[in-house]
Amino acid sequence: MKMKRFLWACALGVALGSSAFMPLQAETLRVVSGTSSTPLNVPMNRAVVVESDEPFSELSIANPGIADVTTLSDQTIYVLGKVPGRTTMTILGADGALLSNVEVQVTPDIGEFKERLRQILPGENIEVRTANDGIVLSGTVSSSAKLDRALDLAHRYAPDRVSNLMTVGGTQQVMLKVRFAEMQRSVSKNLSSSLAMRGTVGGGSAATGLISGTGNFTQSSGAVSDVFDSGTVPISGESGAVNLGFTVGNMEFAVLMEALESKGMVRTLAEPNLTALSGQEAKFLAGGEYPIPVVDNNTVTIRYKPFGVEMTFTPRVVDGNLINLEIAAAVSAIDTSVTMTNGGFTVNAFKRRETSTTVEMRDGESFAIAGLLQDDFNDVNSQIPWLGDVPVLGALFRSASFERNQSELVIIVTPHLVSPTRGEALAMPTDRVRLPTESELFLMGKTSAQPVSGAAGEVAKQDFSGSYGYLME
């Protein structure tokens, strides 16, 4: 039994050894005299063997720069491809008669290119063909980044001779959600005082005077007299004032104390959404245009400056759900506190918050592309020299003001890969309200009627008092 197994092992080893050293047959083309020969395709820098059924005596190639020919025997020809192109090989018999004209076409070596393509981009459905002296790529790839990689590799094998017939599959439309959020807080405090006095001097003549830390008393002796006579305190539009009066001998004193504290808060929120195809620019403006007069050679023309919520972005789906965003966003408003007058025209200034950047993120991820935290502080203390430095009583001759402004701004972007849907599934803001009839308006006092039916009507059934939409706190 052991001897039988040994003999089988020896026989198998001899068979494998003989097959391992067996020479591989070269790719050949057989030429039959008197018949039209099929075109001979030769990869660049590769060789093909041509066999003739009759002995030949003469061999020539039309363009030796495209292919090189060598005779191995009187019936065998060795053809080597040099550069992509097309030429003709002529074979003559012993009597000088024409045996055959073989069309030789040298093409790029797509065998190696296909192998490299499978290694670099596995799983991609890319078909490779040759056309004339170039490479044709077709099929569907999963992203534009992989398409660019395939083209870069193809140009290595056929520079400037690559035809791209590939398409990019998957979702290639991007919806960008931008959130502008700004919070402004301001606090101001003022504390000031003024002192007025009146009395008699010597033989009974009256005298009035004013010592003021802020000047809120009207600066005239008649006005000071009115303070004592009427018991009122004239103040210039300020609130939070307290008047105190007292008499010392022949002198009358009036003290005005003013204290004012104000707080304010402003919240700005904007959330524009915009959808665009990958690689295409999209623009968005929700606002208006402000007319600005321009004087040129005594001629007044009007130019319009846009304001509101502006957005311009270009999305590029790089790979799968990876998105490259080139974005410019701005929020602007008319500032009525700053004006300029020229030639009878008054023009307001603008408040503007804008950013421009390029970021890369995946579907549904968010980036805070811009942020600002600004804190302005202003503290002013004014007083009458020397008198304001007196402890306690110096407060009557001193005024102080405090002001602080804080501003916080953030801009957040979130891209989403989107696909179109049926129009019936989309609800419009106008679907929530239907105009009332005359009886519903005048008799029932309703400003809106029941919403329409359908998918939009289901969404519109939500009441205005429900907890949906934005919550303003």
Query: Taking the model in full, what pTM does it have?
Result: 0.57
pLDDT digits (tens, 9 = 90+) for 51-68: 888 888 888 899 988 999
Structure token pair of residue 8: 């089988």
Burial class (CB in 10 A: 0-12, 13-18, 19+), 466: exposed
Cβ distance 102 to 77 under 8 Å?
Answer: no
Residues of the chain below pLDDT 70: 1-37, 170-171, 199-241, 424-425, 431-432, 450-473
Fold adopted by 40-107: Immunoglobulin-like (2.60.40)
Structure token pair of residue 357: 């950047």
Fold adopted by 110-168: Alpha-Beta Plaits (3.30.70)
Cβ distance 198 to 207 under 8 Å?
Answer: yes
Our measurement of the distance from residue 438's CA atom to the centroid of its chain's CA atoms, rounded to an integer in Å, reads 48
As a whole number of angstroms, the distance between CA 101 and CA 55 comes to: 15
* Chain region(s) in the chain for CATH 2.60.40.1080: 40-107
Structure token pair of residue 226: 């009115």
3-state DSSP assignment of residue 439: helix
Give the pairing of strands 251-270 and 299-319: unpaired
Q: Tokens 């105190």 — which residue?
A: 244
As a whole number of angstroms, the distance between CA 144 and CA 320 comes to: 9
3-state DSSP assignment of residue 95: coil
pLDDT of residue 217: 47
pLDDT digits (tens, 9 = 90+) for 305-338: 999 989 999 998 887 788 999 999 888 988 888 8
Structure token pair of residue 317: 């789906």
Our measurement of the distance from residue 77's CA atom to the centroid of its chain's CA atoms, rounded to an integer in Å, reads 63
- Widest Cα–Cα separation across the chain: 160
As a whole number of angstroms, the distance between CA 327 and CA 455 comes to: 34
CA distances from 184 to 181, 190, 197, 371, 407 (A): 10, 20, 44, 14, 4
pLDDT of residue 226: 47
Burial class (CB in 10 A: 0-12, 13-18, 19+), 225: middle
* Chain region(s) in the chain for CATH 3.30.70.1770: 110-168
